[in-house]
């Protein structure tokens, strides 16, 4: 090959590479990472993208040049020249991909093993998924339960998942990882949040009518703020004399994901509007208190016309303590609303 073809090939490759690079950089393809694990996954992603851009540029250059220079004349129906292999070329095009794929495999393996390696002083959190809510409990803090995933910054966190009914999937885009939750299995996921902020927790497995509403938030706070939050929550829940707050029961059990209730500031649309509870009770011909209690404990006993059957989670009757249930009923029916 003389200087002319090489310059043309290089020119085309540079243009193709520049266009591909512009497309890669112009759009926010990935959210800004908020965990060390996501940072490593991002590195791996860009490592592969750079390799792809280089290969893309070479292929486009070779293709464009061939179409341009070696195009057969319209009336030329003769066979192409018989070419029988080119050992050096074949060694090169075997060796280069082998090295590239091996380097991707090695860096991926390093990322995976470092992402899975728990740090010191691990914070363990049990995550429960059920139609259509997430709940998080902290076994080291008296099994304190929260509907929001509260996390301290820069601490190794291990989530252990339990699915109560069907398959769900846990995803915080900024943490870069997804984990399916399968009934009967208890998979774990390791995250080390490294950026303060509030991020969405999304269910990414179609799990029923309320799938789209199965969302909550993850809050990454400073370690001091996290300890303070743990203490304030433990006080509210741990002390036997503490008044159980109906609003806390409502929030911690994710009721607002499906129900509208002005007092709780929720606007869920899957289940009946709880601001109209008194009217519904009248329609069902039951006293308000009995009606509210039965609807929580045995949700399929009466279905408000216009709302779907068998969507409300069943286990609240056994999951809530008597005082929690009482507090919730009076929160929904009482004057404090």
Please identify, using beta-carbon distances, which residue of 214 and 327 lies nearer to ligand CUA: 214
Which residue in the set 38, 207, 221, 277 belongs to the binding site for ligand CUA (CB under 6 A)?
Answer: 207
In sign, the C-alpha dihedral spanning 291, 295, 297, 299 is positive
Q: Is residue 249 at the binding interface for ligand CUA, with CB under 6 A as the rule?
A: no
- For the bound state, the minimum distance from the C-beta of residue 1 to ligand CUA, rounded and expressed in Å, comes to 57
- Integer Cα distance of 225 and 162 in angstroms: 27
Q: Is residue 133 at the binding interface for ligand CUA, with CB under 6 A as the rule?
A: no
Please identify, using beta-carbon distances, which residue of 257 and 329 lies nearer to ligand CUA: 257
Q: Is residue 149 at the binding interface for ligand CUA, with CB under 6 A as the rule?
A: no
Determine contact, residues 32/72, Cβ cutoff 8 Å: no
Q: Is residue 41 at the binding interface for ligand CUA, with CB under 6 A as the rule?
A: no
Q: Is residue 36 at the binding interface for ligand CUA, with CB under 6 A as the rule?
A: no
Looking only at residues 155 through 174 of this chain, which bind ligand CUA when binding is defined by CB under 6 A?
Answer: 168
**Residue 307 CB burial class (10 angstroms; 0-12, 13-18, ≥19):** middle
Please identify, using beta-carbon distances, which residue of 211 and 259 lies nearer to ligand CUA: 211
Choose among 164, 190, 193, 188: nearest CA to 254. 164
Which residue in the set 214, 220, 288, 329 belongs to the binding site for ligand CUA (CB under 6 A)?
Answer: 214
Q: Is residue 190 at the binding interface for ligand CUA, with CB under 6 A as the rule?
A: no
Q: Is residue 203 at the binding interface for ligand CUA, with CB under 6 A as the rule?
A: yes
- Integer Cα distance of 251 and 154 in angstroms: 27
Question: What distances in angstroms separate CA 48 from CA 41, 44, 114, one per listed residue?
Answer: 11, 6, 18
**Residue 24 CB burial class (10 angstroms; 0-12, 13-18, ≥19):** middle
Where on the chain is the footprint of ligand CUA (CB under 6 A)?
132, 168, 203, 205-207, 211, 214
């Amino acid at each position: 090959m003389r200087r002319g073809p090489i310059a043309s090939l290089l020119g085309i490759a540079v243009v193709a590479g520049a266009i591909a690079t512009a497309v890669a950089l112009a759009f926010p393809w990935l959210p800004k990472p908020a965990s060390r694990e996501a940072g490593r996954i991002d590195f791996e992603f860009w490592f592969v993208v750079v390799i792809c851009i280089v290969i893309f540029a070479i292929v486009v250059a070779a293709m464009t040049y061939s179409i341009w220079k070696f195009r057969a004349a319209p009336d030329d129906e003769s066979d192409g020249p018989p070419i029988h292999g080119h050992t050096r070329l074949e060694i090169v095009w075997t060796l280069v991909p082998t090295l590239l794929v091996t380097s991707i495999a090695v860096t991926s393996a390093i990322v995976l093993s470092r992402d899975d390696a728990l740090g010191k002083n691990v914070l363990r959190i049990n995550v429960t998924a059920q139609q259509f809510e997430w709940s998080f409990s902290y076994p080291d803090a008296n099994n304190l339960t929260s509907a929001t995933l509260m996390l301290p910054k820069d601490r190794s966190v291990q989530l252990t998942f339990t699915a109560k009914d069907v398959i769900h999937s846990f995803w915080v885009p900024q943490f870069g990882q997804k984990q399916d939750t399968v009934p009967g299995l208890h998979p774990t996921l390791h995250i080390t949040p490294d950026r303060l902020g509030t991020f969405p927790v999304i269910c990414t497995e179609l799990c029923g009518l309320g799938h789209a509403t199965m969302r909550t938030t993850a809050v990454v706070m400073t370690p001091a703020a996290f300890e303070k939050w743990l203490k304030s929550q433990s006080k509210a829940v741990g002390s036997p004399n503490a008044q159980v707050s109906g609003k806390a029961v409502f929030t911690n059990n994710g009721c607002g994901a499906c129900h509208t209730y002005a007092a709780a500031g929720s606007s869920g649309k899957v289940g009946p509007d709880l601001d109209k509870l008194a009217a519904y009770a009248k329609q069902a011909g039951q006293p308000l208190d009995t009606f509210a209690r039965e609807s929580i404990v045995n949700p399929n006993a009466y279905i408000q016309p216009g709302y779907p059957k068998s969507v409300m989670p069943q286990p609240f009757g056994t999951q809530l303590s008597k005082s929690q249930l009482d507090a919730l009923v009076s929160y929904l029916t009482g004057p404090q609303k």
